[in-house]
Chain A
Amino acid sequence: MGVLDKFKKMDTNSNLYTFLYASGMVILVAVLLAIAATSLKPAQQKNKETEKKVDILKSFGKTEGIDKAANKHRFVDDVFKKFITEQLVVNIHGDSIQGVDAFGIDLKAELSKPEEERNLPVFKAILEDGSVKYIFPVRGRGLWGPIWGYIALNDDMNTIYGATFDHQGETPGLGAEINTLQFQKQFAGKTIFDNSHKFVSVQVVKGGAGKDNPHAVDAISGGTITSTGLQEMIHNCFENYQAFFNQQTK
């Protein structure tokens, strides 16, 4: 206690005291925050994981009951296991890669690699009626930050079964509308290849896509940059899977 008493009696305006005080405080705070961060990490990780699973399920519309589930994590795990039968990792040539966990892939990191080295995740789901859907993650840039999503294709690798998108900080009411159902449900039934099997992706058209256009959806009014970013995101990400598409439809 001797040292502490001495410290307490020091002139609070002296240089030594100021230094000691500042160092002591910083160390204390650092230790405290480190403990908090480490002990809360598992819960935070689990939240992120569940969110990703919900997003994947959303792309083919199997999210009923999640909001009401008493134990959200377990409920989502169960539904996810029920529908997702296979998790593949492929490279740009469509070859399957072993030993990589598809769920754990960070798409942002993969997209910044050279094309040849990318590990691309694919999720395969079998619905109640036996139909097979393939779910592809997409990621791109909106106006203020990243946007991402999951797109489910039918097993013809052409028709979109469903899509879900989310964003980090797009303008509320404008660009942020990409995560609404009204916007997302437009994608169902659109095709990404034209009649001559040329890859055309899905266009996000400002001013409204024609009702009969099979390759386009309406953009968000007032959210032009987000809409364009979304269009590029879908195009760029699907481009990686061209070889895989060809293999599956052979």
Chain B
Amino acid sequence: MSENNQREPWFSAKNLKLITEPIGIKNPITVLVLGICSALAVTVKLKPAFVMAISVTVVTAFSNLLISWMRNSIPNRIRIIVQLVVVAALVILVDEILKAFVYDVSKQLSVFVGLIITNCIIMGRLEAFALGNKPWPSFLDGIGNGVGYGVILVVVGFFRELLGSGTIWGYRVIPESIYVKNGGFYENNGMMIVPPMALILIGIIIWIQRTRNKSLIEE
């Protein structure tokens, strides 16, 4: 019994799993297929995708922490609204901070920062995890899911920017001289810029992940 009363170490194997699982086998985008909307919208360029990833991670982590901390006092009948208020308050804070300190990026993300509020991952984690677990594991779970979401965004953003615009993080990597308009043979893939291509890329990522991990395939 005495062992049970002992405090769990901050980064026990169980707690670490909360971070690593959502990045891999419980990935919110590729396995649970949540948060697709913003994954399509903000991944044309790498930089906004990266900032979006950080923003979502911050919001999931802290909303999980707050809701878990409040979980025993929240009136059950209005718990969804309470969650929404907490998430919305955090998102507005993030939006204001982006506007004040990374104005260019906040302009590119525009309405999608506000739409973090409706990101299914956040509500999903609050309902599924934070309401039933202690603050610290909830916080880790939030970080894990935010990063799991972010990794996919960054990968998709990387390929869409590289193949669609020939740049990475705004820097040109495919030399101007090989483009058709400069007498070369290369042309950017216009498909990469439109949202459906993000869906196709995510599909490819899911395909690769499932091929490598057979346990993800349904019967």
A contact residues vs B (CB 8 Å cutoff)? 8, 12-13, 17-18, 21-22, 25-26, 29, 32-33, 36-37, 40, 43-44, 47-48, 51, 168-169, 172-173
- Residues of chain B within 8 A (CB-CB) of A17 are 75
Chain A, residue nearest B195 (CB): A172
- Residues of chain B within 8 A (CB-CB) of A12 are 72-76
- Residues of chain A within 8 A (CB-CB) of B44 are 172-173
Q: Are B85 and A47 in contact (CB under 8 A)?
A: no
Q: Are A21 and B100 in contact (CB under 8 A)?
A: no
- Residues 63 to 118 of chain B near chain A (Cβ within 8 Å): 72-78, 81-82, 85-86, 89, 92-93, 96-97, 99-101, 103, 110-111
Q: Are A18 and B99 in contact (CB under 8 A)?
A: no
Chain B, residue nearest A42 (CB): B100
- Residues of chain A within 8 A (CB-CB) of B101 are 43
Number of A-B contacts (CB under 8 A): 64
B182 to chain A, nearest CB (A): 12
**A13-B75 contact in complex given A32-B89, A33-B92, A173-B164, C-beta closer than 8 Å:** yes
Chain B, residue nearest A20 (CB): B75
- Residues of chain B within 8 A (CB-CB) of A172 are 44, 193-194
Q: Are B85 and A40 in contact (CB under 8 A)?
A: no
Q: Tell me if B190 is interfacial: C-beta within 8 Å of chain A.
A: yes
Residue in A21, A29, A40, A168 whose beta carbon sits within 8 Å of that of B73 in the complex: A21
- Residues of chain B within 8 A (CB-CB) of A25 are 82, 85
Q: Are A36 and B96 in contact (CB under 8 A)?
A: yes
Most chain A CB neighbours (cut-off 10 Å) among B76, B89, B93, B190: B89
Chain A, residue nearest B44 (CB): A172
A sample of 6 cross-chain residue pairs with beta-carbon separation below 8 angstroms, ordered by A number, consists of A21-B74, A21-B75, A22-B82, A32-B89, A36-B92, A40-B97
Q: Are B100 and A43 in contact (CB under 8 A)?
A: yes
Q: How many B residues touch the partner, as a band?
A: 20 to 34
Q: Are B82 and A37 in contact (CB under 8 A)?
A: no
Q: Are A26 and B85 in contact (CB under 8 A)?
A: yes
Q: Are B78 and A47 in contact (CB under 8 A)?
A: no
Q: Are B190 and A18 in contact (CB under 8 A)?
A: no
- Residues of chain B within 8 A (CB-CB) of A29 are 85-86, 89
Q: How far, in angstroms, from A39 to B89 measured CA to CA in the complex?
A: 16
Q: Are A36 and B93 in contact (CB under 8 A)?
A: yes
A170 to chain B, nearest CB (A): 11
- Residues of chain A within 8 A (CB-CB) of B193 are 172-173
Residue in A21, A47, A173 whose beta carbon sits within 8 Å of that of B99 in the complex: A47
- Residues of chain B within 8 A (CB-CB) of A8 are 73
B190 to chain A, nearest CB (A): 6
- Residues of chain A within 8 A (CB-CB) of B74 are 12, 21
- Residues of chain A within 8 A (CB-CB) of B93 are 32-33, 36
Q: How far, in angstroms, from A22 to B78 measured CA to CA in the complex?
A: 8
Q: How far, in angstroms, from A36 to B81 measured CA to CA in the complex?
A: 22
- Residues 151 to 173 of chain B near chain A (Cβ within 8 Å): 164
Q: Known pairs A12-B76, A13-B76, A36-B93. 8 more at Cβ < 8 A?
A: A13-B75, A29-B86, A40-B96, A40-B99, A47-B103, A168-B110, A169-B111, A173-B193
Q: How far, in angstroms, from A5 to B82 measured CA to CA in the complex?
A: 21
- Residues of chain B within 8 A (CB-CB) of A40 are 96-97, 99-100
Q: Are B100 and A13 in contact (CB under 8 A)?
A: no
Chain A, residue nearest B190 (CB): A173
Residue in A37, A48, A169 whose beta carbon sits within 8 Å of that of B96 in the complex: A37
Chain B, residue nearest A21 (CB): B75
Most chain B CB neighbours (cut-off 10 Å) among A21, A32, A168: A21
Chain A, residue nearest B99 (CB): A44
- Residues of chain B within 8 A (CB-CB) of A44 are 96, 99-100, 103
Chain B, residue nearest A8 (CB): B73
- Residues of chain B within 8 A (CB-CB) of A21 are 73-75, 78, 82
Q: How far, in angstroms, from A48 to B194 measured CA to CA in the complex?
A: 29
Q: How far, in angstroms, from A161 to B78 measured CA to CA in the complex?
A: 61
- Residues of chain A within 8 A (CB-CB) of B96 are 36-37, 40, 44
Chain B, residue nearest A32 (CB): B89
Q: How far, in angstroms, from A51 to B99 measured CA to CA in the complex?
A: 12
- Residues of chain A within 8 A (CB-CB) of B73 are 8, 12, 21
Chain A, residue nearest B41 (CB): A172
B150 to chain A, nearest CB (A): 21
- Residues of chain A within 8 A (CB-CB) of B78 are 18, 21-22
